[in-house]
Structure 1
C-alpha cells in the first residue's frame, strides 16, 4: 500500500503507476545542458501555468543548492526524465542551474582518493 503522502502516483506493491516518459510528456531531451553533478536551486519565481506534481516536488527539493542526481533520487525517476523536468523549470525561471564546482582540477588525485575513501566507508 502506498504511503498517504505518495498520492495516486505510487502503489506499494506495484511501484510507480505512471510511466516516467509520461511525466515528461514523452520528451527525452532537456532544453538546458546539465550533468548529474550540476547544482540546481529555486529562484522563488512561481511558474506560470500548470506544470505537474513532479515540478512542485522539484521546487520543494531545490530550496538549497541540490545536485541533479539527488533530485532524481528523491523523485525516484531516471536522470534523463529528471533533467527534462528541471529544464522546464529553468525555462520558466523557477530554478537556476550551475555546473559542479571543482577546486582547480576535476581529476585531481587527492580529490578522487577522497571520493574513493568515502565510497569504501559506505560499503
Structure 2
C-alpha cells in the first residue's frame, strides 16, 4: 500500500530546484570563532594580498560571492545578508570562515560612547590656535 502522506512529499520546489536548508549550508554550524565581532553594522573588507577565493576548493560558492561583493566597496554584515538573500546567522558563519582563512577582515565602527567628547576637541583646537 502506497501512502501519499509525508513519504510522498517532494523536498524540492519545481521552479526553484532543490531546497537547501540554512543549517546544511553551514554544515550544521551556528557560530564561528569570530562571531563576537560580527554585529550587523560590522564592515567586511577583503584582504589585499588574499589569493583568489575561486581557487580554494574548500570554499562554498557563497564564500566566493561574499568576497566578490566586498571587492569594490566594504559591505556590512546586514548588506551581505540582503545581497545573498540568506539569514544573517548563516552569513556570519561564512564570514567567520573567510576571516579564519584570511580572505577578509572585519572592522567595527567606533561606538559613540568611545568617541572623544566634542568639548575636549574644541579645547584642543582653541589651545592650538592660541599657540
**Please, what TM-score do these two structures have when normalized by structure 2?**
0.63
Tell me: CA distance 1:68–1:50, structure 2 relative to 1, closer, same or farther (3 Å). same
Distance 1:31 1:49 in 2: 21
Structure 2 gap ranges (5+): 1-12, 115-131
- Give the C-alpha shift of residue 65 in structure 1: 1.0
Deviation at 1:18, TM superposition (A): 1.1
Larger radius of gyration: 2
CA 1:13–1:79: 2 relative to 1, 3 Å: same
Judging changes above 3 Å, is the alpha-carbon distance between structure 1 residues 14 and 25 closer, same or farther for their aligned structure 2 residues? same
1:17 deviation in Å? 2.0
Q: Could you tell me which of 3, 21, 24 is aligned with 2:23?
A: 21
Aligned residues: 95
1:98 pairs with 2:102: no
Q: TM-score, normalised by structure 1?
A: 0.67
Q: How big is the shift at 1:14?
A: 4.4
CA RMSD of aligned residues (A): 2.3
Q: Which runs of 5+ in 1 are unaligned?
A: 1-10, 107-123
Matched with 1:113 is: none
Shift in Å at residue 13 of structure 1?
A: 4.1
CA positional deviation for 1:15? 7.6
